[in-house]
Structures are given as structure tokens and as C-alpha cells.
Amino acid sequence: MTGSLGQRLLGKPAEELNAVEKRVLRHARERRVVSSDANEDFLSNASFGDRLADSIARIGGSWAFIIAFLVFLLAWVAINTLILTRGAPDPFPFIFLNLLLSMLAAIQAPIIMMSQNRQAERDRFMAAKDYEVNLKAEIEVLALDSKIDLQVLQELRAAREEIAALRSAVDALAGPR
């Protein structure tokens, strides 16, 4: 059945349909829903590390983090230059602060890259889900169009038969010519 439905609606024989098209056609034939919460579906397969990378990237790329980090840097500089004039733990040129910033960048950059890769993967997943829903909608529209065409043809045949019957009745009433 999927083969004939695929041929009729998608213009492809059954052996040329990919797995997504077959699944969507099966759902259409069984009148089942294809759409789902794609975000929930995607997150259900995420590992702890994936969720952690997303959280770190979300925090590290926020204005709250930038402002808090700026306040931390200004406080560090103020404490080590203005407040502790003697015996500052990290006097100018702030070598220890530089080390901390380098370590933070070395850790934060790959984590943000992991999160960006996951975002690209999420976009591909969402596009695939959109394709499935759009394909199902297109199949349903084509099926409705076929049903309407069939109904119109049946009505035309019935009208033709009615016209033929009326002509016969008129010819019978008119008598022989």
C-alpha cells in the first residue's frame, strides 16, 4: 500500500522512498500524528556532558557573566594596586591574573565550541523534524485534492447520467420525429 501511495502522492516507486518518506507515508495511512516536541526529543538524547556544555555556554555568553567578570577584574586590579599598596598577592603587571584568564579561556573556548556544535546538530534535527511535518502536510493536502477530484468526477458522472435521463424523457415526450 505504501508503494502505491508513494507513487501516487510523491511520484516515486516504493523502492526509491527513503526511510523518512516511508515512515511519514505509514503515519499518513494510519492517520497518526508525525509532529512532536522536537526540542524535547533532541534533549532526551543529550548526555550529562552535553547539557553541562550548553549550560556553561549559556552562562558564559550572557551579559550577566560579562558584567560580573568585569566587576571581578576591576576589583582585582583595585585590590592589588590601590588597597594593598604593600604585599599585594598579584602586583602590577598582574601575572597571576593573566594566568587565570588564560586558563579560563583555554577551558571555556572548547566548551563553547562543543555547545555550538550541539546547536548545529540541534538545527539539523529540527530541520529534519520540520521536513517530516511538511511532508506529511503535503501528503495530506495531495490526498484531499485526490478525494475532491474523485468526488467532482462522481458528481459530473451523476450529472451526465441525469442529463441523459432528462434527454431521454424529453425525447419520449416529444414523440417520434
Q: Is residue 40 part of a domain?
A: yes
Mean pLDDT of 75-96: 89
pLDDT on residue 2: 54
Mean pLDDT of 47-68: 92
pLDDT at position 33 over 80: yes
Q: Is residue 12 part of a domain?
A: no
Give the HSE-up count for residue 5: Cα atoms under 13 Å, Cβ half-sphere. Answer: 18
* Number of other residues whose CB lies within 10 A of the CB of residue 14: 15
Q: Is residue 67 part of a domain?
A: yes
Cα separation of 177 and 173, whole Å?
A: 11
Q: Is residue 149 part of a domain?
A: yes
pLDDT on residue 4: 67
Segments forming the whole domain that contains residue 74: 33-174
Cα separation of 119 and 114, whole Å?
A: 9
Number of folded domains that form the chain? 1
Extract the C-alpha cell encoding 150.
474523485
- pTM of structure: 0.67
Per-residue model confidence as pLDDT tens digits over 117-175: 999 999 999 999 999 999 999 988 988 998 999 999 999 999 999 999 999 999 888 87
Extract the C-alpha cell encoding 129.
523534524
